[in-house]
Amino acid sequence: MKRKKIGGWIGLGLLSVLLGMQLIRPVKNAGEATGANDITRVIPTSGGVQQVLAASCYDCHSNHTEYPWYTEVMPVGWWIGHHVEEGKEELNFTEAGSYAVKKLDHKLEEIEEEVREGKMPPSDYTRIHEGAKLTGEQKQLLYDWVKEGREVLRN
């Protein structure tokens, strides 16, 4: 009988913690995806490249994230919020126009490297966001854009 009571209290305690976690919400990344300092203001960007960036990159690398329903459940929302913050710290397309030329050139180089190595977009993201997977044609579009962008920065 004592085991049943202890188990009940533990279960109630865990439920209380889980419910309490729902009250602590992360700040949403709800700004504009493009703006005055957007990378497209510095690097000429075709509609095809813009579509690829929007579908595969902007959720984690811009000032605007489209959040799926499950981010409303903590601790999943915290994890995704942290992931977005890390992504923006590494590269923020919305603010990239304000980067120093040398930094932006390096970020473009990293884009190509990460895509070639299959690190971007990450598999945990593409597993859930099927439309974010890059085709060979989309990858080539990005490589060409990076090459052109780096040439623009050198001139």
Query: What pLDDT was estimated at residue 37?
Result: 95
Whether the predicted pLDDT of 4 surpasses 80: no
Residue holding tokens 């497209």? 40
Neighbours of 47 (CB within 10 A): 7
Over residues 23-61, the pLDDT tens digits come to 888 889 988 878 899 999 999 999 999 999 999 999 999
Between the alpha carbon of residue 18 and those of residues 15, 40, 58, 75, 83, the distances in Å are 5, 43, 31, 9, 21
Over residues 51-81, the pLDDT tens digits come to 999 999 999 999 999 999 999 999 999 999 9
Q: Which two tokens stand for residue 43?
A: 């690097």
- Give 102's pLDDT tier (boundaries 50, 70, 90): very high
Contact 153, 147 (CB under 8 A): no
Q: Which two tokens stand for residue 113?
A: 């490297």
Query: What pLDDT was estimated at residue 2?
Result: 66
What does the domain layout of the chain look like in residue ranges?
A: 27-154
- The angle at the Cα of 148, spanning 145 to 151, to the nearest 5 degrees, equals 150
Q: Tell me the Ramachandran region of residue 118: left when phi exceeds 0, alpha when psi lies from -120 to 50, beta otherwise.
A: left
Neighbours of 141 (CB within 10 A): 17
Query: What pLDDT was estimated at residue 19?
Result: 78
- In angstroms, what is the C-alpha Rg of the chain? 20
Higher pLDDT, 15 or 69: 69
In sequence order, the β-bridge partners of residue 30 are 64
What percentage of the chain carries pLDDT values higher than 90?
Answer: 77
Contact 61, 93 (CB under 8 A): yes
